[in-house]
Amino acid sequence: MSHQGGEAATNRLLGQRLGSTVLTKAIVREPGRNFSSGETTVDLGNPDYELALRQHEAYCHALESCGLQLIRLNADERFPDSTFVEDTAIVTDRGVVITRLGAASRAGETEEIRRELVNHYGELNTIDAPGTVDGGDVCEAGKHFFIGISRRTNEAGAGQLARLLESFGFSSSLIDIRGLGNILHLKSGMAWIGDNRLVVIDALSRLKEFSPYELIHVNSGEDYAANCVFINDRMLVAAGFPALKRQLEDLNYQAIALEMSEFQKMDGGLSCLSLRF
C-alpha cells in the first residue's frame, strides 16, 4: 500500500479523508421574505418562501448532524441574496479573506460577516477594488485552491486572492469558467471531496488542472448535484439526483440528501448556504 493509501485508510478510520480538516462551526443566515428578488440566471420560477425556510432549516440540521456548531444570523432584507453566505469570505485554517462580491446588489453583505469572523480570527484580509471575488468561485482542495474566473470573480480579484493564499502557505490555480458549461460559479460545477477526489460536470472534466485528481463524473442531467459538500465524515448532496448519490455511496461516503429546489431557483447550491470552518 502506498504511503498516501495508508494515510487515507487511517484517516478514514478516524472519520477523516485525506487532506481534509476537522470542521467545527458554520455561519448560516435564514433567507429573508424578499429572497425571490435576488439575482438569478435560471428560469425555474419564483421560489416559495415558506418552503425555502423549511429547506433551510433541514440544511441547518444536517450541518449539526455533521458535528458543526451553528452561528445563525438573522435574515437581512437589505440583501435578498444574503442567505448565500459562502460568497462573502474565504475561511481557511491559516487565515480569512473577506471578499468583494461581483454583483453590485450584494456589495454590503460582507459587513456583518466581517464582524462575526473577527470574533474567531484576529486579522482579516480583504479583496480590494477593482478586484471582485465570490466565495462560490473558490474551491479548497486541501493545501491547494482552485479559483474560478467568472462573471462574478475577475482577474484582479483572483490574483489578489492567489497572493493572499500564497502568503498563508497555500498554492492555487486560476480556472476561467467563462464559456464553460454556463455555470454561475466554479463550484456550481465541481466539488473537492477529500482523498484527492473531485466531483466534476462534463464541461470541467478535461481541464489539465484536474488531471492529478481522481474525477467523479456527474451524469448529464445531474449537473446541479455537482455542488455537494464534504463535511467531516459526511457528504451533503442535493436530493433528486440519485446517480451521483449512488456513486458517492459506492465510495463509502455517507450521503445526506437535502431538498434544494427553492435555492436552485435562485442559482444557489448546497455550499453557498454556509461558511464552514
Active-site residues, by number, are 185, 272
Strands, sheet with 254-258, edge to edge from the N-terminal-most edge strand:
229-231, 234-238, 254-258
Cell of 223: 449537473
Site for ligand CIR in 166-185 (CB under 6 A): 184-185
Among 70, 81, 65, 66, which residue's Cα sits nearest to residue 32? 81
- Name the minimum Å distance from CB 222 to ligand CIR: 17
Q: In angstroms, rounded to a whole number, what is the distance separating the alpha carbons of residues 144 and 146? A: 7
Q: Which is nearer to ligand CIR, 81 or 233 (CB)?
A: 81
Shortest spacing between CB 211 and ligand CIR, in angstroms: 25
40 touches ligand CIR (CB under 6 A): yes
Written as nine digits, the cell of 212 is: 492529478
Rule CB under 6 A: say whether 262 interacts with ligand CIR: no
Q: Which residue has the cell 472534466?
A: 205
Residue whose C-alpha is closest to residue 34's, from 44, 45, 49, 50 = 49
Where does residue 142 fall: left (phi above 0), alpha (psi -120 to 50 degrees), or beta otherwise? left
223 counts as binding ligand CIR under rule CB under 6 A: no
Residues of span 110-149 touching ligand CIR by CB under 6 A: 135-136
Q: Give the integer Cα–Cα distance in Å for 87 and 127.
A: 12
* Span interacting with ligand CIR, options 38-46, 56-64, 192-200, 245-253, rule CB under 6 A: 38-46
In degrees rounded to 5, what are phi and psi of residue 55? Answer: -65, -35
Which of the stretches 5-13, 84-92, 155-163, 194-202 binds ligand CIR when contact is defined by CB under 6 A? 84-92
Total chain residues near ligand CIR (CB under 6 A): 20
Q: Which residue of 20, 27, 62, 87 would you call a contact of ligand CIR, by CB under 6 A? A: 87
Q: How far apart are CA 96 and CA 141, in angstroms?
A: 16
Q: Which of 27, 177, 272, 275 binds ligand CIR (CB under 6 A)?
A: 272
Q: Does residue 103 touch ligand CIR according to CB under 6 A?
A: yes
Q: How far is the CB of 7 from ligand CIR (least distance, A)?
A: 30
Which triple of cell numbers denotes residue 100? 468583494
Q: Does 268 bind ligand CIR (CB under 6 A)?
A: yes
Phi, psi of 217 (to 5 degrees): -85, 130
* Among positions 38, 131, 157, 189, the unique one binding ligand CIR when judged by CB under 6 A: 38
Q: Of 95 and 269, which CB lies nearer to ligand CIR in the complex structure?
A: 269
